[in-house]
Amino acid sequence: AKEKGLNEYEVFKPSLEIQTLKEGIIEKELRNGMDLNEFILFYQPIINLYNRQIYGLEALLRWHYLKSVFVSPLEFIPIAEKCGLIVDLGKIVLKQSLESAKIFSNYFNRDFVISINISPRQFSDKEFISSIIQIVENEKIKNLKLQFEITEKVAIENINYAIEVINELKKYNITFALDDFGVDYSSLNYLRKLPIEAVKIDKSFVQEIENEETYFVVETIIKLCNKLGLKVVVEGVETENQYKILKELGCDYVQGYFISKPLNFEEIVKFIKENEFGK
Ligand code: C2E
Ligand code: CA
Ligand code: CA
Ligand code: CA
Protein backbone atom coordinates (compact mmCIF):
# COMPACT_ATOMS: atom_id res chain seq x y z
CA ALA A 1 0.00 0.00 0.00
CA LYS A 2 2.91 2.26 0.82
CA GLU A 3 4.38 1.81 -2.64
CA LYS A 4 1.13 2.65 -4.31
CA GLY A 5 0.99 5.84 -2.24
CA LEU A 6 4.41 6.79 -3.47
CA ASN A 7 3.45 6.35 -7.11
CA GLU A 8 0.33 8.40 -6.68
CA TYR A 9 2.44 11.15 -5.21
CA GLU A 10 4.74 11.03 -8.23
CA VAL A 11 1.84 11.37 -10.62
CA PHE A 12 0.23 14.32 -8.88
CA LYS A 13 3.38 16.11 -7.82
CA PRO A 14 3.04 19.63 -9.16
CA SER A 15 5.74 21.10 -11.34
CA LEU A 16 8.12 23.54 -9.72
CA GLU A 17 6.45 26.46 -11.49
CA ILE A 18 3.03 25.54 -10.21
CA GLN A 19 4.42 25.04 -6.72
CA THR A 20 6.03 28.49 -6.77
CA LEU A 21 2.85 30.05 -8.09
CA LYS A 22 0.82 28.37 -5.38
CA GLU A 23 3.16 29.61 -2.68
CA GLY A 24 2.98 33.12 -4.09
CA ILE A 25 -0.80 33.06 -3.90
CA ILE A 26 -0.77 31.67 -0.39
CA GLU A 27 1.74 34.31 0.69
CA LYS A 28 -0.65 37.06 -0.44
CA GLU A 29 -3.50 35.35 1.33
CA LEU A 30 -1.38 35.02 4.47
CA ARG A 31 -0.68 38.74 4.51
CA ASN A 32 -4.31 39.45 3.98
CA GLY A 33 -5.27 37.02 6.73
CA MET A 34 -2.92 38.77 9.14
CA ASP A 35 -4.61 42.10 8.41
CA LEU A 36 -8.03 40.54 8.89
CA ASN A 37 -7.14 38.83 12.19
CA GLU A 38 -7.75 35.40 10.75
CA PHE A 39 -5.02 33.82 12.89
CA ILE A 40 -6.16 32.44 16.17
CA LEU A 41 -4.65 30.27 18.83
CA PHE A 42 -5.93 27.02 20.19
CA TYR A 43 -4.52 25.71 23.46
CA GLN A 44 -3.67 22.17 24.39
CA PRO A 45 -3.22 21.30 28.06
CA ILE A 46 -0.01 19.74 29.32
CA ILE A 47 -0.76 17.72 32.44
CA ASN A 48 1.26 16.70 35.44
CA LEU A 49 0.98 12.93 35.29
CA TYR A 50 0.86 12.41 39.04
CA ASN A 51 -1.75 14.83 40.25
CA ARG A 52 -3.44 15.54 36.92
CA GLN A 53 -2.94 19.24 37.48
CA ILE A 54 -2.45 21.49 34.51
CA TYR A 55 1.23 22.23 34.10
CA GLY A 56 0.77 24.41 31.08
CA LEU A 57 -0.86 25.07 27.75
CA GLU A 58 0.74 24.83 24.34
CA ALA A 59 -0.42 27.56 21.98
CA LEU A 60 -1.17 26.11 18.55
CA LEU A 61 -1.92 28.40 15.67
CA ARG A 62 -4.83 28.00 13.26
CA TRP A 63 -5.70 30.04 10.22
CA HIS A 64 -9.41 30.77 10.19
CA TYR A 65 -9.37 31.39 6.46
CA LEU A 66 -12.13 33.76 5.32
CA LYS A 67 -13.47 33.10 8.80
CA SER A 68 -14.92 29.88 7.42
CA VAL A 69 -12.41 27.03 7.33
CA PHE A 70 -9.59 26.17 9.71
CA VAL A 71 -6.29 25.65 7.96
CA SER A 72 -3.69 23.49 9.70
CA PRO A 73 -0.34 25.03 10.62
CA LEU A 74 1.29 22.13 8.80
CA GLU A 75 -0.03 23.75 5.62
CA PHE A 76 0.88 27.38 6.16
CA ILE A 77 3.78 27.52 8.62
CA PRO A 78 6.30 26.13 6.10
CA ILE A 79 5.22 28.76 3.56
CA ALA A 80 5.27 31.57 6.12
CA GLU A 81 8.71 30.35 7.11
CA LYS A 82 9.92 30.33 3.53
CA CYS A 83 8.74 33.85 2.68
CA GLY A 84 9.65 35.34 6.05
CA LEU A 85 6.11 36.22 7.13
CA ILE A 86 6.62 33.90 10.08
CA VAL A 87 8.48 36.68 11.87
CA ASP A 88 5.39 38.91 11.99
CA LEU A 89 3.12 35.95 12.51
CA GLY A 90 5.26 35.00 15.49
CA LYS A 91 4.66 38.41 17.04
CA ILE A 92 0.92 37.97 16.59
CA VAL A 93 1.19 34.59 18.34
CA LEU A 94 3.10 36.04 21.28
CA LYS A 95 0.74 38.99 21.70
CA GLN A 96 -2.36 36.83 21.48
CA SER A 97 -0.90 34.33 23.96
CA LEU A 98 -0.28 37.09 26.47
CA GLU A 99 -3.81 38.44 26.04
CA SER A 100 -5.20 34.98 26.73
CA ALA A 101 -2.79 34.39 29.60
CA LYS A 102 -4.18 37.44 31.37
CA ILE A 103 -7.59 35.78 31.42
CA PHE A 104 -6.21 32.33 32.28
CA SER A 105 -4.30 33.75 35.21
CA ASN A 106 -7.60 34.54 36.92
CA TYR A 107 -8.16 30.81 37.29
CA PHE A 108 -4.74 29.72 38.48
CA ASN A 109 -3.57 30.12 42.03
CA ARG A 110 -0.17 28.75 41.12
CA ASP A 111 2.35 28.91 38.32
CA PHE A 112 1.19 27.91 34.88
CA VAL A 113 3.12 27.72 31.63
CA ILE A 114 2.19 29.03 28.22
CA SER A 115 4.33 27.29 25.64
CA ILE A 116 4.85 28.89 22.25
CA ASN A 117 6.39 27.39 19.13
CA ILE A 118 9.26 29.37 17.66
CA SER A 119 10.21 28.60 14.07
CA PRO A 120 13.83 28.40 12.89
CA ARG A 121 13.64 31.65 10.97
CA GLN A 122 12.14 33.51 13.91
CA PHE A 123 14.77 32.19 16.26
CA SER A 124 17.64 33.17 14.01
CA ASP A 125 16.19 36.59 13.16
CA LYS A 126 18.54 39.39 14.21
CA GLU A 127 15.74 41.17 16.00
CA PHE A 128 14.35 38.11 17.76
CA ILE A 129 15.45 39.00 21.27
CA SER A 130 14.61 42.69 21.04
CA SER A 131 11.19 42.06 19.49
CA ILE A 132 10.33 39.59 22.24
CA ILE A 133 11.48 41.94 24.98
CA GLN A 134 9.47 44.75 23.46
CA ILE A 135 6.32 42.65 23.67
CA VAL A 136 6.80 41.04 27.08
CA GLU A 137 8.51 43.84 28.93
CA ASN A 138 5.52 45.72 30.21
CA GLU A 139 3.34 42.69 30.71
CA LYS A 140 3.25 41.47 34.26
CA ILE A 141 0.90 38.53 34.33
CA LYS A 142 0.35 36.81 37.62
CA ASN A 143 1.75 33.26 37.84
CA LEU A 144 2.59 33.10 34.15
CA LYS A 145 5.73 31.29 33.06
CA LEU A 146 6.41 31.80 29.40
CA GLN A 147 8.12 28.97 27.54
CA PHE A 148 9.42 28.85 23.98
CA GLU A 149 9.67 25.60 22.04
CA ILE A 150 12.49 25.21 19.55
CA THR A 151 13.56 22.08 17.75
CA GLU A 152 16.83 20.31 18.37
CA LYS A 153 17.96 21.16 14.89
CA VAL A 154 17.65 24.90 15.49
CA ALA A 155 19.36 24.68 18.85
CA ILE A 156 22.25 22.61 17.62
CA GLU A 157 22.93 24.23 14.25
CA ASN A 158 24.37 27.23 16.01
CA ILE A 159 24.71 26.14 19.58
CA ASN A 160 26.64 29.15 20.82
CA TYR A 161 24.03 31.52 19.46
CA ALA A 162 21.28 29.35 20.96
CA ILE A 163 22.91 29.37 24.38
CA GLU A 164 23.25 33.13 24.19
CA VAL A 165 19.60 33.70 23.23
CA ILE A 166 18.31 31.30 25.86
CA ASN A 167 20.38 32.91 28.59
CA GLU A 168 19.40 36.40 27.53
CA LEU A 169 15.67 35.61 27.59
CA LYS A 170 16.01 33.90 30.95
CA LYS A 171 16.44 37.38 32.36
CA TYR A 172 12.90 38.03 31.24
CA ASN A 173 11.59 34.90 32.87
CA ILE A 174 11.30 33.00 29.61
CA THR A 175 12.39 29.36 29.52
CA PHE A 176 13.01 27.02 26.60
CA ALA A 177 11.94 23.50 25.73
CA LEU A 178 13.42 21.29 23.03
CA ASP A 179 10.53 20.27 20.79
CA ASP A 180 10.17 17.04 18.79
CA PHE A 181 13.05 15.52 20.70
CA GLY A 182 14.41 12.34 19.20
CA VAL A 183 13.52 12.86 15.55
CA ASP A 184 16.55 14.72 14.29
CA TYR A 185 19.96 14.77 15.90
CA SER A 186 19.47 13.55 19.42
CA SER A 187 23.02 14.08 20.33
CA LEU A 188 22.59 13.58 24.03
CA ASN A 189 25.70 15.60 24.63
CA TYR A 190 23.90 18.80 23.65
CA LEU A 191 21.33 18.29 26.38
CA ARG A 192 24.04 19.00 28.87
CA LYS A 193 25.17 22.19 27.15
CA LEU A 194 21.85 23.86 26.42
CA PRO A 195 20.43 25.95 29.28
CA ILE A 196 16.91 24.64 28.63
CA GLU A 197 14.20 23.76 31.11
CA ALA A 198 12.36 20.94 29.36
CA VAL A 199 12.49 18.32 26.64
CA LYS A 200 9.44 17.30 24.64
CA ILE A 201 9.70 13.75 23.41
CA ASP A 202 8.21 13.49 19.93
CA LYS A 203 4.90 11.76 19.46
CA SER A 204 6.38 9.15 17.14
CA PHE A 205 7.89 7.50 20.24
CA VAL A 206 4.62 7.24 22.12
CA GLN A 207 2.91 5.68 19.15
CA GLU A 208 5.35 2.78 19.45
CA ILE A 209 5.82 2.70 23.19
CA GLU A 210 4.24 -0.73 23.44
CA ASN A 211 7.17 -1.98 21.43
CA GLU A 212 10.02 -3.08 23.71
CA GLU A 213 12.87 -1.29 21.96
CA THR A 214 11.01 2.01 21.89
CA TYR A 215 10.11 1.57 25.54
CA PHE A 216 13.80 1.26 26.41
CA VAL A 217 14.72 4.31 24.37
CA VAL A 218 12.06 6.43 26.05
CA GLU A 219 13.04 5.06 29.44
CA THR A 220 16.63 6.07 28.82
CA ILE A 221 15.75 9.57 27.64
CA ILE A 222 13.53 10.14 30.68
CA LYS A 223 16.20 8.88 33.09
CA LEU A 224 18.87 10.98 31.49
CA CYS A 225 16.72 14.11 31.53
CA ASN A 226 15.79 13.55 35.15
CA LYS A 227 19.46 13.24 36.05
CA LEU A 228 20.25 16.43 34.15
CA GLY A 229 17.46 18.24 35.95
CA LEU A 230 15.37 18.66 32.82
CA LYS A 231 11.61 18.34 32.76
CA VAL A 232 10.22 15.81 30.32
CA VAL A 233 6.99 16.27 28.41
CA VAL A 234 5.75 13.44 26.27
CA GLU A 235 3.47 14.59 23.48
CA GLY A 236 0.94 12.68 21.44
CA VAL A 237 -0.42 10.52 24.24
CA GLU A 238 -3.61 9.06 22.81
CA THR A 239 -4.52 6.01 24.86
CA GLU A 240 -4.90 5.02 28.47
CA ASN A 241 -2.31 2.31 28.04
CA GLN A 242 0.29 4.77 26.75
CA TYR A 243 -0.54 7.00 29.70
CA LYS A 244 -0.05 4.13 32.16
CA ILE A 245 3.25 3.10 30.63
CA LEU A 246 4.57 6.65 30.85
CA LYS A 247 3.57 6.86 34.48
CA GLU A 248 5.45 3.65 35.12
CA LEU A 249 8.46 5.18 33.39
CA GLY A 250 8.56 8.18 35.69
CA CYS A 251 7.60 10.72 33.05
CA ASP A 252 6.51 14.05 34.56
CA TYR A 253 4.23 15.63 32.02
CA VAL A 254 2.02 14.46 29.20
CA GLN A 255 0.12 16.08 26.39
CA GLY A 256 -2.18 14.50 23.85
CA TYR A 257 -5.67 13.59 22.75
CA PHE A 258 -6.02 11.23 25.73
CA ILE A 259 -6.10 14.32 27.93
CA SER A 260 -7.55 16.78 25.46
CA LYS A 261 -7.22 17.91 21.89
CA PRO A 262 -6.23 21.55 21.31
CA LEU A 263 -9.16 23.73 22.37
CA ASN A 264 -10.37 27.15 21.34
CA PHE A 265 -10.35 29.99 23.84
CA GLU A 266 -13.80 29.39 25.34
CA GLU A 267 -13.23 25.66 25.58
CA ILE A 268 -9.85 25.97 27.25
CA VAL A 269 -11.18 28.42 29.83
CA LYS A 270 -13.86 25.87 30.65
CA PHE A 271 -11.23 23.12 30.83
CA ILE A 272 -9.08 25.18 33.19
CA LYS A 273 -12.01 26.06 35.44
CA GLU A 274 -13.12 22.44 35.69
CA ASN A 275 -9.60 21.25 36.36
CA GLU A 276 -8.73 23.85 38.93
CA PHE A 277 -12.00 24.04 40.82
CA GLY A 278 -13.73 20.75 40.05
CA LYS A 279 -16.93 20.44 38.02
P1 C2E B 1 4.16 20.54 17.31
O2 C2E B 1 4.80 21.72 17.95
O3 C2E B 1 4.87 19.24 17.38
O4 C2E B 1 2.71 20.46 17.96
C5 C2E B 1 2.09 19.26 18.30
C6 C2E B 1 1.12 18.83 17.24
O7 C2E B 1 0.59 17.56 17.59
C8 C2E B 1 -0.09 19.76 17.11
O9 C2E B 1 -0.47 19.77 15.75
C10 C2E B 1 -1.15 19.03 17.95
O11 C2E B 1 -2.46 19.35 17.59
C12 C2E B 1 -0.82 17.61 17.62
N13 C2E B 1 -1.27 16.68 18.66
C14 C2E B 1 -1.53 16.95 19.95
N15 C2E B 1 -1.89 15.84 20.61
C16 C2E B 1 -1.86 14.84 19.71
C17 C2E B 1 -2.14 13.42 19.81
O18 C2E B 1 -2.49 12.87 20.84
N19 C2E B 1 -1.98 12.70 18.66
C20 C2E B 1 -1.59 13.28 17.48
N21 C2E B 1 -1.46 12.49 16.41
N22 C2E B 1 -1.32 14.61 17.37
C23 C2E B 1 -1.45 15.37 18.47
P24 C2E B 1 -0.88 21.12 15.03
O25 C2E B 1 -1.66 21.98 15.96
O26 C2E B 1 -1.48 20.74 13.72
O27 C2E B 1 0.51 21.82 14.78
C28 C2E B 1 1.44 21.26 13.90
C29 C2E B 1 2.76 21.94 13.97
O30 C2E B 1 2.68 23.30 13.50
C31 C2E B 1 3.30 22.07 15.39
O32 C2E B 1 3.88 20.84 15.75
C33 C2E B 1 4.29 23.20 15.24
O34 C2E B 1 5.50 22.72 14.73
C35 C2E B 1 3.62 24.07 14.18
N36 C2E B 1 2.96 25.19 14.84
C37 C2E B 1 1.75 25.28 15.42
N38 C2E B 1 1.51 26.51 15.91
C39 C2E B 1 2.62 27.23 15.65
C40 C2E B 1 3.01 28.60 15.92
O41 C2E B 1 2.30 29.41 16.55
N42 C2E B 1 4.24 28.98 15.46
C43 C2E B 1 5.08 28.14 14.81
N44 C2E B 1 6.27 28.59 14.41
N45 C2E B 1 4.75 26.86 14.55
C46 C2E B 1 3.54 26.41 14.97
CA1 CA C 1 5.48 22.23 19.88
CA1 CA D 1 6.29 18.75 19.13
CA1 CA E 1 6.16 18.32 15.38
262: CA distance to ligand 1 center in Å?
9
Provide the pLDDT for residue 134.
Answer: 96
Task: Give the number of whichever ligand sits closest to the CA of residue 180.
Answer: 3
What's the average model confidence in pLDDT over 201-225? 96
Reported ipTM exceeds the 0.90 cut = yes
With a 6 Å cutoff on the Cβ, whether 238 touches ligand 1 is yes
Q: Measure the CA–CA gap between 97 and 260, rounded to whole angstroms.
A: 19
The three-state DSSP-derived secondary structure of the chain is CHHHHHHHHHHHCCCHHHHHHHHHHHHHHHHHHHHCCCEEEEEEEEEECCCCCEEEEEEEEEEEECCCEEECHHHHHHHHHHHCCHHHHHHHHHHHHHHHHHHHHHHCCCCEEEEEECCHHHHHCCCHHHHHHHHHCCCCCCCEEEEEEEEHHHHHHCHHHHHHHHHHHHCCCEEEEEEEECCCCCCHHHHHHCCCCEEEECHHHHHCCCCHHHHHHHHHHHHHHHHCCCEEEEECCCCHHHHHHHHHCCCCEEECCCCCCCECHHHHHHHHHHHHHCC
Q: What is the mean pLDDT of residues 240-259?
A: 97
pLDDT band of 8, cuts 50, 70, 90? low
Measured in Å, residue 213 CA sits from the centre of ligand 4 at 22
CA distances from 253 to 28, 44, 130, 220, 227 (A): 39, 13, 31, 16, 16
Q: Judge whether residue 16 has pLDDT over 90.
A: no
CB 104 within 8 A of CB 142: no
Q: How sure is the predictor about 250, in pLDDT bands with cuts at 50, 70 and 90?
A: very high
Does the pLDDT at position 117 exceed 60?
Answer: yes
Choose between 9 and 109: higher pLDDT: 109
- Please report, rounded to a whole number, the percentage of residues in the chain having pLDDT higher than 90: 86
pLDDT band at 6 (very low <50, low <70, confident <90, very high): low
Q: What is the pLDDT of residue 1?
A: 45
**Closest-approaching ligand to the CA atom of 257:** 1
1 lines ligand 1 (CB under 6 A): no
Banded model confidence at residue 5, pLDDT cuts 50, 70, 90: low
- Whether 204 lines ligand 1, by a CB cut-off of 6 Å, is no
Cα–Cα distance, 31 to 33 (Å, whole number): 5
- Residue 277 is predicted with a pLDDT of 86
Q: Indicate if ligand 1 lies below 6 Å from the C-beta of 120.
A: no
Residue 185 has pLDDT above 80, yes or no: no
Cβ–Cβ < 8 Å for 119, 90: yes
Ligand 1 atom 15: the closest Cα is on which residue?
256
Q: Is 44 near ligand 1, meaning CB less than 6 Å away? A: yes
CA angle 101, 195, 158 (to 5 degrees): 105
Name the closest ligand to CA 148: 2
Instruction: Kindly report the protein residue whose alpha carbon is nearest to atom 34 of ligand 1.
Output: 117
Mutate to test the pocket of ligand 1, among 39, 43, 60 (most ligand atoms within 8 A of CB): 60
At residue 9, the pLDDT reads 59
Q: Taking a C-beta distance cutoff of 8 angstroms, is the pair 188, 227 a contact?
A: no
**Atom 19 of ligand 1, nearest CA residue:** 236
pLDDT digits (tens, 9 = 90+) for 63-81: 999 999 999 999 999 999 9
What global pTM score does this model have? 0.94
Please write the tens of the pLDDT for every residue from 82-98.
999 999 999 999 999 99
* Predicted pLDDT of residue 10: 61
* Nearest bound ligand to the CA of residue 73: 1
Q: What pLDDT does 2 receive?
A: 47
